[in-house]
């Protein structure tokens, strides 16, 4: 029998040996101080370069003097340091560790193509740019400062080739629309997917303050990227094509914007502070006539197009409409109401961050306060931001990180541009014969012409507010259990509430525009949670490399909304409960899940060729079970020609690098259908006092499928002149496949409904993108950087649900339609006859509208809101501590339907109206063009001086200040255009995919000046 005590004694004998081995291993891991300096070819220090031990997370970044240092717990031996920086080639330095300190300097070589740059391709996945067969555009944090805007979307304008980034409103919280490679859907959203630190976040545009505005395809309001502080962003990677399908599958057809926020770095505490003041001005006033004459009488409304008194002429228009128009002129006093509604707005932008840590623990804390007054009186936007991010290395195998970003914003708004009682429209539709500042004995504003609103009533008596509270949280775990193996888990939550209130007090005068008073409230709660699990294995087999990645993602979304309205408010009543007429409240509930998994494999040979193949299976609960799940494949290839042996003899110093790339992917769009739209919906009603069911006129479809688009792109990256000149070119062909475009199909009455959403359409986008970067001069004291882009996209609906145009309802009267064979949202309206001299004129010189033999106005395509060309050009000159930069961007070849242009003429305040009063145009001219929609379509091409910045790095005036600077920035200073409105960069449809290029009372984009002080401690 074995003696258990003897066996236990044997175990204790081995314990000292184990402790001795553990002690030896601990002593072998010594703390080594690694330091050095990073310089450029000219010997000048290069800040911001990341220095890291290869295959570890240990490292630091070079400071303003190019110096770096960090501690590493490593054994004696040979190691490799990697020096990486944006705009530079990666440098590898071999070091030998035998003592407590190691010194290693590096000389960085410019690389205008950034081929060695590590870019985010989705979730926790990253690859070097030279491995990718698709386009990835990157924007650094330096490009997001000194923009004159606190909105991340506006800060990106002109910096992403091929992206049409439009500010749709000049409100201080106005929306930003982003289109990458054209419009790709009719029913859904064409906005890209946004991902912040691996968390899919909402960029919804939800109307909570203008519930009394008609629906249709409008998406007016503030989109939720306005909640993000650009100062917190480290880098943005933009994937414009369907190559993102492997990671995001059914949500990737509009492209993906991947945002990486700032995080702590090992080293001493670093404090960054900035404060700035802003000034916003109206860049351009529209022409308002102050000529002191009017037809007929001072009391005559719409005198240019209405029957009038006294001496008259009778004019019969081609469509048969007749007017008896006054020719007598009376003296009147006119005012320019623009002076009463516009102001010079002031603002401030303040930011503070603290970061630092050790190799084990890194931290980042920041806070920001932003307030900006609009150019419309009594409008502003205020935002508080707080952010924290912590990374903790548990051991060599486990790293934990997490972040919390909280935003609280509040805005004072005015009615948007799709109503007659908005600030701009109250000016456009009112004859300017009234002193709108006059008040009665009680101090109340006096009325203007009947049915119109005194513009000052809009400014003083309409109170619209919006409050947002938002938290974006993530928790991440990274495991590296073996060499080359990485396991990542991300839990992300995006939770926000959006509260809107609208109070229009009862007017003290008679008016049809909500004159009895109106009140509303809305509360929208949005909750998104996503789980990502990714496994990557990177293996090196001689000259061959393999990167295998597999992952799974699940996202749950719940959005609820509660909306209440009331009308007819007595004086002093401000609540819905107190309204004499309470509208039926409404409640919305939206709950859906999106889930999918993917596998991706990248093979590489040396640094010459990389081949990638991937597939993803995605599903969404918005669709029926039989059509819910689809497969989204992707293939790509990258050939770095300049890495081949013959290149050194071929290229020389003038032709430094060349790469060919190609990719194809299938991606989806889930936004084209509501969560429950596949069902036929019923509501309850009353018939003869009995409860009954009412069937919604829009029928359900149990066979509906997600929209799917196929995209092929091919491109090349070239660098010349010792890597001083870089050229990036991409051509693409993107199309809806399988007739999967979702369209509302009109049904016969016998079907029991009026329409049903069906997959019956096709749509294509074809185009190309060209980007150029250059470094003409780079010396120790002076450098000059230049960049530019030019892109072209042709959009076409190749098939829709019907032969006749699908009209897009809107308040502006824009003849926007969907029609096969034309781009999305073209203007299809009546037009003028033509002769050999241009527009045909009658004997008096009045334009003649085209009509058929029954005197019905003829219609055709009269304009296209989609630009033919997008362009940008930027330059930065730096001399010692002084730098000057500017950005020009523009859009060419698009049209805008200028509804305001006609309105001003009809009421008698426009430039054509003044010319008719003066006799420079024949009497009846305004009436002849009033119903002809072609007259309201204008060329909206523009080129803008978007950004100008002058920065001076201050000398060190205190030991505790590492660096400081003063910056003066101008934004939207000039616009080169021939547009007859405030600004051709506008859209009353907001972020709508299809209703584009409509100007109807939109707030113009302001000219902005900003003065900022920055300091690092």
Quick one: tokens of 305? 């197009």
Q: Are strands 586-605 and 544-567 parallel, antiparallel or unpaired?
A: antiparallel
- Going by C-alpha positions, the residue among 149, 410, 378, 143 that lies closest to residue 278 is 149
Tens-place pLDDT, residues 335-374: 999 999 999 999 999 999 999 998 899 999 999 999 999 9
Provide the pLDDT for residue 29.
Answer: 57
Does residue 706 register a pLDDT over 60?
A: yes
* Residue 130 reports pLDDT greater than 90: no
Contact 184, 734 (CB under 8 A): yes
Residue 391 main-chain phi, psi, to 5 deg: -125, 130
740-765: average pLDDT: 88
Structure tokens at 52: 């890291």
User: pLDDT tens, 717-732?
Assistant: 999 988 899 999 999 9
Query: Phi/psi at 469 (nearest 5 deg)?
Result: -125, 120
Other beta carbons within 10 Å of 721:
15
Strands (E), 358-397: 361-373, 380-393
Over range 777-801, report the average pLDDT.
91
Q: Mean per-residue pLDDT for 646-660?
A: 85
Q: The dihedral of CA 116, 117, 120, 125: what is its sign?
A: positive
Residue 652 or residue 92, greater confidence = 92
What does pLDDT average to over the chain? Answer: 90
Q: How far apart are CA 217 and CA 991, in angstroms?
A: 9
209-226 average pLDDT score: 83
Q: Is the distance from CB of 760 to CB of 820 less than 8 angstroms?
A: no
State residue 7's pLDDT score: 42
Q: With 50 as the cut, is the pLDDT of residue 860 above it?
A: yes
Alpha carbon 229 to its chain centroid, in Å, reads 14
Q: What is the pLDDT of residues 12-52, one digit of tens each?
A: 455 454 444 444 444 455 688 899 999 887 788 888 788 98
Going by pLDDT thresholds of 50, 70 and 90, the confidence category of residue 57 is low
805-823 mean pLDDT: 91
* pLDDT value at residue 751: 84
pLDDT at 86 over 80: no
What is the reported pLDDT for 786?
95
At 397, list the tokens.
């195998």
Phi-psi region of 437 (alpha: psi -120 to 50; beta: other; left: phi over 0): alpha
Question: Following DSSP, what letter does each residue of 414-452 receive, concatenated?
Answer: ---TTSTTSHHHHHHTS-TTS-TT-B-TTSPBPP-STT-
- DSSP secondary structure letters along 329-358: EEE-----THHHHB--EEEEEEEEEEEEE-
Give the mean pLDDT of 210-221. 79
pTM of the full structure: 0.91
Give the pLDDT band of residue 215 (cuts 50, 70, 90): low
Per domain, the residue ranges of the chain are 18-109, 143-282+342-434+452-681+707-825+864-894+940-1016
715 or 673, greater pLDDT: 715
Q: What is the mean pLDDT of residues 132-157?
A: 91
Phi, psi angle pair for 369, to nearest 5°? -130, 125
- Would you state the pLDDT for residue 250? 82
Q: Give pLDDT, residue 991.
A: 86
Tell which CATH classification among 3.40.50.300, 2.140.10.10, 3.90.550.10, 2.60.40.1120 matches the domain 18-109: 2.60.40.1120
Return the number of other C-beta atoms located less than 10 Å from residue 735's C-beta. Answer: 17
Q: To the nearest 10°, the Cα dihedral for 125, 130, 133, 139?
A: 70
Beta strand 895-898 pairing with 937-939: antiparallel
For residue 11, count CB atoms less than 10 angstroms from its CB and return exposed for 0-12, middle for 13-18, buried for 19 or more.
Answer: exposed
Is it the case that residue 5 has pLDDT exceeding 70? Answer: no
The C-alpha R_g of the chain, in whole angstroms, comes to: 32
Closest CA to 53 of 86, 94, 105: 94
The Cα 819–Cα 804 span in angstroms is 7
* H-helix or E-strand spanning residue 713: strand 707-720
Say whether pLDDT at 698 is over 90.
no
Answer for the pair 539, 504: CB distance below 8 angstroms, yes or no: no
3-state helix, strand, coil in the chain (%, to 5): 10, 50, 40
pLDDT band of 8, cuts 50, 70, 90: very low
pLDDT of 118 higher than 90: no
10 Å Cβ neighbour count for 562?
A: 14
Alpha-carbon distances of 880 from 204, 429, 948, 1014, rounded to whole Å = 44, 55, 19, 18
Nearest to 653 by CA among 117, 109, 130, 132: 109
> DSSP alpha helices (H): ranges in 700-775?
none
- b/e map of 138-170 (b: 16 or more CB within 10 Å)? bbbbebbbbbbbbbbbbbbbbbbbbbbbbbbbb
Rounded to an integer, what distance in angstroms lies between the CA atom of residue 187 and that of residue 740?
Answer: 12
CA distance 259 to 233: 7
Question: Considering the chain, what percentage of its residues have pLDDT values greater than 90?
Answer: 63
Give me the mean pLDDT over the 393-404 stretch.
93
pLDDT-based confidence at 682, cuts 50/70/90? Answer: confident
Cα–Cα nearest to 415, from 151, 169, 165, 167: 169
Query: Do the domains 143-282+342-434+452-681+707-825+864-894+940-1016 and 18-109 match in fold?
Result: no
User: Per residue in 566-590, is it b (16+ CB within 10 Å) or e — as a string?
Assistant: bbbbeeebeebeebeeebeeeeeee
The string of pLDDT tens digits covering residues 574-626 is 999 999 999 989 999 999 999 999 999 999 999 899 999 999 999 899 888 88
Q: How far apart are the first and last CA of the chain?
A: 74
- Answer whether 697's CB lies under 8 Å from 745's CB: no
Q: Does domain 143-282+342-434+452-681+707-825+864-894+940-1016 have CATH number 2.40.170.20?
A: yes
**pLDDT range class, residue 928, cuts 50, 70, 90:** very high
Mean pLDDT throughout 386-395?
A: 95
Using the predicted structure, report yes or no on whether residue 938 has a pLDDT greater than 90: yes
For the ranges 96-105, 150-159, 846-855, the lowest mean pLDDT is seen at 96-105
- Per-residue pLDDT at 877: 96
For residue 470, which of 354, 383, 594, 589 has the smallest C-alpha distance? 383
Predicted pLDDT at 582: 93
Residue 883 to residues 139, 491, 876: CA-CA distances in angstroms? 19, 42, 7
Task: Tell me phi and psi for residue 458, to 5 degrees.
Answer: -65, -45
Best CA proximity match to 87, nearest among 230, 235, 197, 232: 235
């Amino acid at each position: 029998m074995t003696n258990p005590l003897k066996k236990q004694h044997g175990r204790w004998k081995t314990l000292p040996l184990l402790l001795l081995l553990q002690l030896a291993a601990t002593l072998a891991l010594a703390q080594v101080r690694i330091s050095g300096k990073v310089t450029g070819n000219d010997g000048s220090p290069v800040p911001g370069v990341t220095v890291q031990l290869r295959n570890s997370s240990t490292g630091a970044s070079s400071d303003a003097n190019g110096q770096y240092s960090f501690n590493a717990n490593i054994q004696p031996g040979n190691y490799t340091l990697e020096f990486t920086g944006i705009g530079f080639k990666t440098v590898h330095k071999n070091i030998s560790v035998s003592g407590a300190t190691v010194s290693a300097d590096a000389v960085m070589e410019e690389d205008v193509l950034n081929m060695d740059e590590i870019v985010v391709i989705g979730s926790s996945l990253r690859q070097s740019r030279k491995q990718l067969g698709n386009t990835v555009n990157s924007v650094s944090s330096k490009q997001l400062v000194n923009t004159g805007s606190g909105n991340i979307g506006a800060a990106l304008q002109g910096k992403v080739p091929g992206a049409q980034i439009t500010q749709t409103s000049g409100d201080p919280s106005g929306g930003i629309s982003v289109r990458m490679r054209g419009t790709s859907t009719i029913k859904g959203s064409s906005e890209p997917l946004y991902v912040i630190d691996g968390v899919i976040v909402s960029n919804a545009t939800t109307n909570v303050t203008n519930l009394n505005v008609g629906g249709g395809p409008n998406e007016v309001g503030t989109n939720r990227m306005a909640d993000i502080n650009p100062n917190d962003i480290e880098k943005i990677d933009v994937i414009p094509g369907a190559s993102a399908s492997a990671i995001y599958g059914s949500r990737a057809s509009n492209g993906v914007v991947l945002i990486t926020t700032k995080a702590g770095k090992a080293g001493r505490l670093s404090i960054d502070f900035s404060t700035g003041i802003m000034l916003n001005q109206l860049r351009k006033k529209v022409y308002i006539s102050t000529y002191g004459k009017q037809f007929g009488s001072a009391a005559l409304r719409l005198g240019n197009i209405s029957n009038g008194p006294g001496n008259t002429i009778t004019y019969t228009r081609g469509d048969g409409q007749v007017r008896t128009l006054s020719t007598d002129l009376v003296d009147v006093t006119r005012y320019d109401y623009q002076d009463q509604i516009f102001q010079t707005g002031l603002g401030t932008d303040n930011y503070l961050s603290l970061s630092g840590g050790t190799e084990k623990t890194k931290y980042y804390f920041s806070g920001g306060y932003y307030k900006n007054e609009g150019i419309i009186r009594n409008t502003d936007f205020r935002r508080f931001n707080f952010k924290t991010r912590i990374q903790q290395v548990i051991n060599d195998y486990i790293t934990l990180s997490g972040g919390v970003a909280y935003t609280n914003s509040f805005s004072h708004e005015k009615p948007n541009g799709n109503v007659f009682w908005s600030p701009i429209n109250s000016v456009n539709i009112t004859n300017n014969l009234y002193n709108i500042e006059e008040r009665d004995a009680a101090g109340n504003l006096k009325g203007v012409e009947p049915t119109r609103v005194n513009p000052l009533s809009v400014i003083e008596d309409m109170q619209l507010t919006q409050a947002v509270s938002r938290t974006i949280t993530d928790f991440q775990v990274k495991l590296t259990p073996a060499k080359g193996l990485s396991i990542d888990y991300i839990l992300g939550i995006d939770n926000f509430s959006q509260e809107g209130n609208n109070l229009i007090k009862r007017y003290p005068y008679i008016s049809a525009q909500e004159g009895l008073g109106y009140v509303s409230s809305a509360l929208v709660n949005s909750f998104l949670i996503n789980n990502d699990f990714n496994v990557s294995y990177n293996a090196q087999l001689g000259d061959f490399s393999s990167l295998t990645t597999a992952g799974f993602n699940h996202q749950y979304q719940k959005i609820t909304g509660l909306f209440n309205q009331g009308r007819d408010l007595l004086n002093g009543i401000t609540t819905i409960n107190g309204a004499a007429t309470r509208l039926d409240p409404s409640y919305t509930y939206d709950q859906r899940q999106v889930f999918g998994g993917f596998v991706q494999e990248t093979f590489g040979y040396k640094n010459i060729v990389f081949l990638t193949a991937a597939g993803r299976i995605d599903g969404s609960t918005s669709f029926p079970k039989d059509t819910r799940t689809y497969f989204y494949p992707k293939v790509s290839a990258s050939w770095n020609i300049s890495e081949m042996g013959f290149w050194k003899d071929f290229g020389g110093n003038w032709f430094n690098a060349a790469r060919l790339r190609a990719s194809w992917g299938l991606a989806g769009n889930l936004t084209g259908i509501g969560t429950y739209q596949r069902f036929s919906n019923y509501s309850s009603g009353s018939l003869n006092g009995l409860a009954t069911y009412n069937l919604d006129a829009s029928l359900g479809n149990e066979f509906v499928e997600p929209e799917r688009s196929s995209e092929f792109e091919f491109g090349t990256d070239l660098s010349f002149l010792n890597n001083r000149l870089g050229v990036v070119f991409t051509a693409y062909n993107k199309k809806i496949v399988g007739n999967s475009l979702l369209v509302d199909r009109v049904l016969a009455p016998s079907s029991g409904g009026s329409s049903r959403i069906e997959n019956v359409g096709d749509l294509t986008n074809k185009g190309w993108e060209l980007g150029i970067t250059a470094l003409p001069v780079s010396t120790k004291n002076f450098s000059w950087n230049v960049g530019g882009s030019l892109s072209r996209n042709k959009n076409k609906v190749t098939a829709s649900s019907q032969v006749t145009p699908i009209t897009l309802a809107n308040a502006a009267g824009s003849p926007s339609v969907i029609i096969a064979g034309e781009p999305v949202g073209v203007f299809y309206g009546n037009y003028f006859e033509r002769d050999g001299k241009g527009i045909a004129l009658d004997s008096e010189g009045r334009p003649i509208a085209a009509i058929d033999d029954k005197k019905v106005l003829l219609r055709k395509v009269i304009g296209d809101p989609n630009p033919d060309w997008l362009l940008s050009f930027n330059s930065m000159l730096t001399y010692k501590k002084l730098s000057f930069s500017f950005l020009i961007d523009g859009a060419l070849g698009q049209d805008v339907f200028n509804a305001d242009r006609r309105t001003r003429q009809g009421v008698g305040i426009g430039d054509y109206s003044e010319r008719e009063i003066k006799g420079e145009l024949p009497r009846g001219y305004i009436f002849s063009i009033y119903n002809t929609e072609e007259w309201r379509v204008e060329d909206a091409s523009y080129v803008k001086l978007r950004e100008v910045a002058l920065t001076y790095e201050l000398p060190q005036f205190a030991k505790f200040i590492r660096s400081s600077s003063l910056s003066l920035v101008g934004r939207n200073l000039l616009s080169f255009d021939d547009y007859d409105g405030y600004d051709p960069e506008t859209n009353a449809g907001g972020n709508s995919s299809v209703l584009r290029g409509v100007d109807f009372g939109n707030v113009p984009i302001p000219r902005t000046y900003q003065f900022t002080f920055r300091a690092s401690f």
